[in-house]
């Protein structure tokens, strides 16, 4: 998953290819706290275990996901080294909205 980790100018940079999505992170001042604010990326349902294993192999902190309702998909939440949270999610917006409509 990791493509490269190098120091450019004064910042350490890491580049990842996560299922064909290129993610670049530049090390800076860490956030003071880990929050639920995050960026989410789509993955297919069959990629869940592989992605989770790869993220753990990088030594990143994996956060326990919130409770899900059936049909909403599955998520992996993880923090980078500066406390930014990311999510890999296996569902689609249409699936989520359809599931939420069933609750009305």
Residues carrying an active site annotation = 87
Can you give the chain as a three-state secondary structure string? CEEEEEEECCEEEEEEEECCEEEEEECCCCCCCCCCCEEEEECCHHHHHHHHHHHHHCCCEEECCCCCCCCCCCEEEEECCCCCEEEEECCCHHHHHHHHHHCC
């Amino acid at each position: 998953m990791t493509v490269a980790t190098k120091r450019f100018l004064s910042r350490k940079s890491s580049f990842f290819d996560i299922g064909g999505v290129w993610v670049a992170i530049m090390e800076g001042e860490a956030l003071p706290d880990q929050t639920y604010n995050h960026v989410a990326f789509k993955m297919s349902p069959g990629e869940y275990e592989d992605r989770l294993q790869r993220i753990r192999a990088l030594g990143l902190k994996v956060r326990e996901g919130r409770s899900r309702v059936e049909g909403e998909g599955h998520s992996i939440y993880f923090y980078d080294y500066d406390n930014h949270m990311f999510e890999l999610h296996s569902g689609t917006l249409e699936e989520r909205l359809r599931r939420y409509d069933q609750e009305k």
